[in-house]
């Protein structure tokens, strides 16, 4: 067979040779040990936790080693392409402190551009043509129906499915048959002519999984589709080589295709980058663990975290906790450190599934938010509110002094121990709502209507905004005593039958009337922040 002629017929025209590309995309000038990593999403518009999980690892591995993180867009599948998807990836990841050094819509060093696979089409074809010339790739004219029939036969025979060995029909077409098909205008794809033998197994060192056993590939995978667009397998090999990736971090679902990729790098004459296949994020669902699902789990979408107003550092802490087994211990010792000081290692990444637990993230979030000053919290809330807040929530920011007093109280700033009531921006805004809006609903009072009215009226008679906390509380005690509640806790405990309740029940009535809730930070201070008129109005309304 004259492969050269065939190559010219299949992919006519002049294409640069490999040396041209080697020169065009030279080895990167980086210090020894610097990793070049990449995130290579398809622009589907759906950015999920798995992307952040990968990206956090990529970012840390690159930047801990003085290397480079770039963004490549794998847009070979036009059907899945969504407008604005690239901007959305960048925006979503930026929120979590993932910054790319170069890439699509980022710019940076242009040496390795373009970063969209569609714009690199000529290069993929050049290499496909070269493989055809070398007899290592061939045209396949099988139709969808042919392939479906093949799959059916293989399934029936309990054989591995795919296009390989004796099933690779078009691999053995004669020159004559090929040209006859071409003359008839039959569409074709280009397949790799695999020389692997699945009897052969070898050890492969995965940077995350450790040593794994790999079976030689014998699948004649498609490298160029009938429209001349490459498959993931082929495109990633060429791109990772010419973008000079040193370490490919990707999901473990790709481990099964690793043999194909090893063979492709080999036929292309490229050294293999190092690979690390990370585990999937799992969720505990009753008794079983399953992968997070787009349909069932809103927390899979990264948009969820921005909308809810998760504090970026908290999410990063949790990602690092899930990614590196020794992070938690390090963080316990260095709670206030710059997270980027943690020495992140691929070898410390979890080999089996990482269990993602929203409750755990919420705990971390409470902890992280409790470290903020009231000013930092206000700034975080305001930023969230500007994008996601309702009109009434946006109004909370009009009186900055009041907001800071509210946050100081709710976060326990200056107190013995910080309160940990805030989980997210949206929850915090809900939490502080009663300072800014009259409660629309009140939790149930645990005293009779008559007692409630008497307590509230007694309070209105005595309340003086100028009272200090002690005087204020002594008045609450008076109201208790006047209405048959124990003024002192110890009296009540000693003789509960003698009373309707204690001073704490009286305080609860005042609390619910003022705030709508039975549980709040210090009520005296709340009344101070609300001011005399507002406090009175709320209590009056509950009488
Ligand atoms: N486009 C592939 C994906 O989104 C990239 C996999 C890889 O990182 O190589 O799954």
3-state secondary structure 398-437: CCHHHHHHHHHHHHCCCCCCCCCCCCCHHHHHHHCHHHHC
Choice among 81-95, 263-277, 426-440, 502-516 with the minimum mean pLDDT = 81-95
Q: What pLDDT, on a 0 to 100 scale, did the predictor assign at position 292?
A: 94
Q: What pLDDT, on a 0 to 100 scale, did the predictor assign at position 352?
A: 80
Whether 2 shows a pLDDT value over 90: the answer reads yes
Query: Is residue 41 in contact with ligand 1, taking CB distance under 6 Å?
Result: yes
Structural domains present in the chain = 3-15+121-278 (3.40.50.620), 372-436 (no CATH), 449-542 (1.10.10.350)
pLDDT in tens, 430-463: 999 999 999 999 999 999 999 999 999 999 999 9
Q: What pLDDT, on a 0 to 100 scale, did the predictor assign at position 353?
A: 78
Separation of CA 80 and ligand 1 centre (Å): 14
Query: Is residue 42 in contact with ligand 1, taking CB distance under 6 Å?
Result: yes
Mean predicted lDDT score pLDDT of the chain: 97
Range 410-428 average pLDDT? 97
Query: Is residue 236 in contact with ligand 1, taking CB distance under 6 Å?
Result: yes
Query: Is residue 374 in contact with ligand 1, taking CB distance under 6 Å?
Result: no
pTM of this structure: 0.93
Separation of CA 250 and ligand 1 centre (Å): 7
Q: What pLDDT, on a 0 to 100 scale, did the predictor assign at position 77?
A: 86
Q: What pLDDT, on a 0 to 100 scale, did the predictor assign at position 448?
A: 97
86-110: burial string, b at 16+ Cβ within 10 Å, e else: bebbbebbebbebebbbbbeeebee
Query: Is residue 240 in contact with ligand 1, taking CB distance under 6 Å?
Result: no
Confidence of residue 81 (pLDDT cuts 50, 70, 90): confident
Whether 78 shows a pLDDT value over 90: the answer reads no
Whether 470 shows a pLDDT value over 90: the answer reads yes
What CA–CA distance (Å, rounded) separates 345 from 515? 49
Query: Is residue 120 in contact with ligand 1, taking CB distance under 6 Å?
Result: no
Confidence of residue 252 (pLDDT cuts 50, 70, 90): very high
* DSSP 8-state assignment for residue 303: H
What CA–CA distance (Å, rounded) separates 236 from 233? 6
User: CB-hemisphere CA count at 13 Å for 343?
Assistant: 1
Whether 307 shows a pLDDT value over 90: the answer reads yes
Separation of CA 40 and ligand 1 centre (Å): 5
pLDDT in tens, 210-238: 999 999 999 999 999 999 999 999 999 99
Q: What is the 3-state secondary structure (H, E, C) of 437-481?
A: CCCCCCCCCCCCHHHHHHHHHHHHHHCCCCCCHHHHHHHHHHHHH
Query: Is residue 57 in contact with ligand 1, taking CB distance under 6 Å?
Result: no
Confidence of residue 390 (pLDDT cuts 50, 70, 90): very high
Separation of CA 254 and ligand 1 centre (Å): 8
Token code pair at residue 167: 């099933």
pLDDT in tens, 186-212: 999 999 999 999 999 999 999 999 999
Closest CA to 33 of 70, 68, 65: 65
277: left (phi > 0), else alpha (psi -120 to 50), else beta? beta
Whether 64 shows a pLDDT value over 90: the answer reads yes
Separation of CA 93 and ligand 1 centre (Å): 16
Q: Which residue has a Cα nearest atom 9 of ligand 1?
A: 250
Q: Is 287 helix (H, G, I), strand (E, B) or coil?
A: coil
């Amino acid at each position: 067979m004259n492969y050269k002629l065939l190559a010219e017929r299949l992919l006519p025209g002049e294409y640069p040779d490999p040396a041209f590309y080697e020169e065009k995309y030279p080895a990167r000038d980086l210090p020894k040990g610097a990793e070049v990593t990449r995130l290579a999403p398809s622009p589907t518009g759906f950015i999920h936790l798995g992307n952040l999980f990968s990206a956090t690892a990529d970012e840390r591995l690159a930047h801990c080693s003085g290397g480079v993180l770039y963004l490549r867009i794998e847009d070979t599948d036009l059907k899945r392409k969504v407008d604005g998807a690239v901007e959305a990836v960048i925006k979503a990841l930026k929120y979590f402190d993932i910054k790319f050094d170069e890439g699509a819509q980022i710019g940076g060093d242009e040496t390795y551009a373009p970063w969209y696979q569609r714009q690199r089409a000529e290069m993929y074809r050049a290499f496909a043509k070269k493989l055809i010339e070398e007899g290592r790739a061939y045209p396949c004219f099988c139709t969808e129906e042919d392939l479906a029939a093949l799959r059916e036969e293989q399934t029936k025979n309990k054989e591995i499915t795919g296009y390989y060995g004796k099933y690779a029909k078009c691999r053995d077409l004669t020159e004559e048959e090929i040209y006859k098909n071409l003359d008839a205008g039959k569409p074709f794809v280009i397949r790799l002519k695999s020389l692997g033998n699945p009897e052969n197994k070898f050890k492969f060192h995965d940077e995350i999984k450790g040593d794994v056993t790999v079976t030689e590939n014998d699948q004649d995978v498609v490298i160029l589709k009938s429209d001349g667009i490459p498959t993931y397998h082929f495109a990633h090999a060429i791109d990772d080589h010419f973008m000079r990736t040193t370490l490919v971090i990707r999901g473990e679902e790709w481990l099964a295709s690793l043999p194909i990729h090893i063979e492709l790098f080999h036929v292309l004459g490229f050294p293999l980058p190092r690979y690390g296949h990370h585990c999937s994020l799992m969720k505990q669902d009753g008794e079983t663990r399953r992968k997070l699902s787009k349909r069932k789990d809103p927390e899979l979408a990264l948009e969820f975290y921005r909308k809810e107003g998760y504090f970026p550092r908290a999410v990063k802490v949790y990602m690092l906790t899930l990614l590196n087994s020794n992070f938690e211990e390090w963080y316990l010792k260095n709670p206030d450190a710059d997270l980027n000081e943690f020495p992140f290692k691929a070898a410390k990444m979890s080999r089996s599934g990482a269990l993602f637990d929203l409750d755990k993230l919420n705990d971390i979030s409470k902890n992280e938010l409790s470290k903020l000053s009231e000013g930092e919290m206000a700034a975080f809330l305001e930023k969230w509110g500007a994008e996601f807040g309702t009109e009434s929530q946006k109004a909370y920011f009009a009186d900055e002094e009041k907001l800071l007093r509210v946050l100081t109280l709710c976060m326990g700033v200056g107190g013995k121990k910080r309160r940990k009531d805030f989980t997210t921006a949206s929850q915090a805004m809900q939490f502080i709502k009663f300072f800014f809006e009259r409660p629309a609903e009140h939790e149930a009072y645990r005293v009779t209507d008559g007692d409630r009215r008497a307590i509230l009226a007694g309070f209105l008679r005595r309340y003086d905004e100028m009272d200090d906390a002690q005087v204020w509380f002594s008045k609450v005690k008076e109201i208790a005593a006047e209405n048959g509640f124990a003024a002192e806790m110890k009296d009540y405990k000693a003789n509960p039958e003698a009373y309707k309740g204690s001073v704490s029940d009286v305080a609860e009535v005042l609390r619910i009337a003022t705030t709508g809730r039975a549980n709040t930070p210090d009520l005296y201070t709340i009344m101070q922040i609300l001011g005399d008129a507002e406090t009175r109005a709320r209590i009056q309304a509950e009488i």
